[in-house]
Amino acid sequence: MDDLLSARPVAFVHVADRNRALAFYEGVLGLPLQSADPFGDFLDLGDALLRITVIPDYEAHPHPVLGWNVADVRATAAALAEQGVALNIYEGIGQDEDGIWTAPDGRVQVAWFLDPDGNVLSLSQT
């Protein structure tokens, strides 16, 4: 399966409103549009692609669908906040006042936020 190891991965995110999703993923997150077709759009994630697929009446689930491992989760979260993105606070898991959860070993930090369709996205620092 060497072909899979050398191929560019594609992640899929489903949305109900294409224009609203593109405004968020392109305009707020800064992901460049690579191509589009009647069914959805491909955005550049660097070493991977993000396929945004429109599904009428789509309803998001409460679990993360896409995440980024970043060098500095606090700085990235702050930059997103400047773009109007709020971090999700989940009761009972012990996030700090900035909305960032730190694993018990202190090595991993995670923050979560929503896209306009309610898809959970994450930032992690490992």
- Put residue 83 in one of left, alpha, beta given phi > 0 → left and psi -120 to 50 → alpha: alpha
CA 19 to chain centre: 17
The answer on pLDDT for 62 being more than 90 is yes
Look at the domain 1-59 and name its fold.
2,3-Dihydroxybiphenyl 1,2-Dioxygenase; domain 1 (3.10.180)
Give the CATH H-level superfamily of domain 60-126. Answer: 2,3-Dihydroxybiphenyl 1,2-Dioxygenase, domain 1 (3.10.180.10)
Q: What is the pLDDT of residue 1?
A: 63
Q: How confident is the model at residue 2 (pLDDT cuts 50, 70, 90)?
A: confident
Q: What is the pLDDT of residue 50?
A: 98
| 114, two tokens | 């929503």
Percent of the chain scoring above 90 in pLDDT: 96
Q: What is the pLDDT of residues 29-61, one digit of tens each?
A: 999 999 999 999 999 999 999 999 999 999 999
Q: What average pLDDT score do residues 89-101 get?
A: 95
The answer on pLDDT for 93 being more than 70 is yes
> SS3 for 124?
strand
Is it true that 1-59 and 60-126 share their CATH fold?
Answer: yes
Domains of the chain, residue spans: 1-59, 60-126
Give dist(CA 97, CA 100) in Å, integer: 7
Contact criterion met (CB below 8 Å) for 112 and 120: yes
Contact criterion met (CB below 8 Å) for 35 and 41: yes
| 93, two tokens | 């898991």
- pTM for the model stands at 0.93
